[in-house]
Structure 1
């Protein structure tokens, strides 16, 4: 029944989007389904020095996107002859701070924060800056004011939230009842929620029936039960929108516990390998995908610019909407382009 309902609703999608205000046009669902064909940058060459030591601090091992970004740094670092040490942040601000202090003690040349919120490690970052260590943030939004971070490697999270809302509005035929999951610890996830709420307001019959709070450190234990309980309170809910794909996996467990797999569509963000497979198999409906390994290479590029005394490129990272109509045959969305070759050309290496 779910597929009959949503197939009929999808036929109304174009009309729903056409009726939405013009400000949503730049987040057209069809436009963002298309494969990436043009290199977005950076474009300025940089002489990458060898022999550097870099620490990568991940948000948590459960955060597949930040782990993939760390793997990208490892891959790129190997090309440049760097020593790269990855530390699991375990979803714990104490562990994040400790990892940065370990990098300082080891006299690292650079630090990459993989989805670690800078505002929660501010004192440690200032100590890193005082020690002359370059820091690059991955995933976190770039603030308006200058701080101790050299460069930010991130997509437009607010726009991703808008795009997710437009997809839900179109897919539901303009009549979605949504359980929204929020993780308020990470600023990029808050921006996604803000964009989602703002764009969804243009869909007159769409409604967020309840918001469920979650944290990356507890989602495996607590989120399935919280989602199942919320769905029991809202039998009319037909979409669960998670803030990232690892979270969507546990939200999906809650949907199954509630016995609602036939009536609920789960969406997320990141485009991780298990999610692409789940979309292919019909287990997850949609994701707004980031090329996480590419982001690790781009963070390495930014560090190379810092080490050479240059300025940060701060080029926003591309993203793509992936659902059952355009799911790729790759293990996770990798960005459609040969990003490794592009960066090697910039660095003058083979």
Structure 2
């Protein structure tokens, strides 16, 4: 069976949220959530091997649509509200938004939510207070802050999210014009497929997630569901541990997993690379070799520290990376579409499996697809 990557998400003309601005953006609901496992799998090991090979050899899914509105509101201000700027993925997207915004003379104000619900609430309140032309939610659920987002809508401030929900596309109930992310199900299936293929269908797995984030919970559900198709694989446990507290929780958690599961524990399958960074010390203290078992596989977004661990074989065998710089540029394009009263682009970039075989030399996975030139031509009306 095949998987549609880099696709244009079909939009359903329902649930329109009116903008406070004349000719403002349309917020259009996406279709119902997909099933937690891919359809039509008869041999999960064969499917896993196919997904791994397809991703490692893939080059498609990184070119955005070539049509869109010219640059709007030159000289405007964008507020990037970050969940936590110490998170490598959030920081990389923020830098990419700043890079892309400079192409059309927008100024970006970075506001750090500092990894807590209250911090994010304070940061978003500040963003609304400064009355920017647009707001970007950087890495936290829009539904967590719906009251403040309603204020933004009342003021006619368009909001675009990055990892602001459990799926790509508009979030009309929260007033989010669109959410830029890869398909979390594809990310989850790819990470789980690596584990199935690497173990030849015999993996013993602990799944680590943070249910405070919809996208993380959804990924964990999908990873467990995919592993459930593998008769020789065992999900030993599913652990719910806050991503922001990995530095204080992982020592005890990893110690408990090793004590309980022993040699059966072959893989730590996580929704974010932060878990791995803070699990390393305890694995080392327990005398576990850096090459494993257990080894970690992350279904997060792929940041520089993950790439270094994969490169060095340092307790992490693989990660599923998102094209973070491309997504930052897409965020700017989606805001520009909102300013112009257009619909979202519907573009969803492809996630990429990163192993020792193809780990980037730099800090981010940045496909050389010419996407910057595509966006420049759109914004310059070419």
Q: Indicate conservation of the 8 Å contact 1:153/1:314, yes or no.
A: no
1:12 matched residue in structure 2 = none
- Calculate the aligned-residue CA RMSD, in Å: 2.2
Query: 253-262 or 224-233, which moves further after superposition?
Result: 253-262
Partner residue of 2:149 out of 96, 120, 125: 125
Tell me whether 1:146 sits opposite 2:200 in the alignment: no
Matches within 5 A, 1:1-350: 19-20=43-44, 24=47, 28-37=51-60, 39-49=62-72, 50-139=74-163, 140=165, 141-142=167-168, 146-147=172-173, 148-235=175-262, 236-261=264-289, 262-268=292-298, 269-283=300-314, 284-348=316-380
Q: Which runs of 5+ in 1 are unaligned?
A: 1-16
> Do the aligned partners of residues 47 and 27 (structure 1) sit closer, same or farther apart at CA in structure 2, a change above 3 Å counting?
farther
Query: 202-211 or 35-44, which moves further after superposition?
Result: 35-44
SS at match of 1:42: coil
SS at match of 1:234: helix
Following superposition, the deviation at residue 35 of structure 1 comes to 3.9
2:23 matched residue in structure 1 = none
Q: Name the CA distance, whole Å, in 2 between partners of 1:21 and 1:281.
A: 27
Report the number of matched residues: 333
The TM-score, its normalising length taken from structure 2, stands at 0.82
Q: Name the CA distance, whole Å, in 1 between partners of 2:171 and 2:337.
A: 20
> Do the aligned partners of residues 57 and 34 (structure 1) sit closer, same or farther apart at CA in structure 2, a change above 3 Å counting?
same
Q: Name the CA distance, whole Å, in 1 between partners of 2:381 and 2:272.
A: 34
Q: Name the CA distance, whole Å, in 2 between partners of 1:96 and 1:136.
A: 16
> Do the aligned partners of residues 127 and 279 (structure 1) sit closer, same or farther apart at CA in structure 2, a change above 3 Å counting?
same
Q: Name the CA distance, whole Å, in 2 between partners of 1:144 and 1:132.
A: 16
2:9 matched residue in structure 1 = none
Alpha-carbon displacement from aligned partner over 1:58-107 (angstroms, at most 9, x marks no partner): 11133211111111111111221111011111121222122222122111
Which structure has the highest helix share of the two? Answer: 1
Q: Indicate conservation of the 8 Å contact 2:62/2:367, yes or no.
A: no
Following superposition, the deviation at residue 127 of structure 1 comes to 0.6
Q: Indicate conservation of the 8 Å contact 2:79/2:111, yes or no.
A: yes
Alpha-carbon displacement from aligned partner over 1:263-310 (angstroms, at most 9, x marks no partner): 211111322112112111111200111011221111011011111221
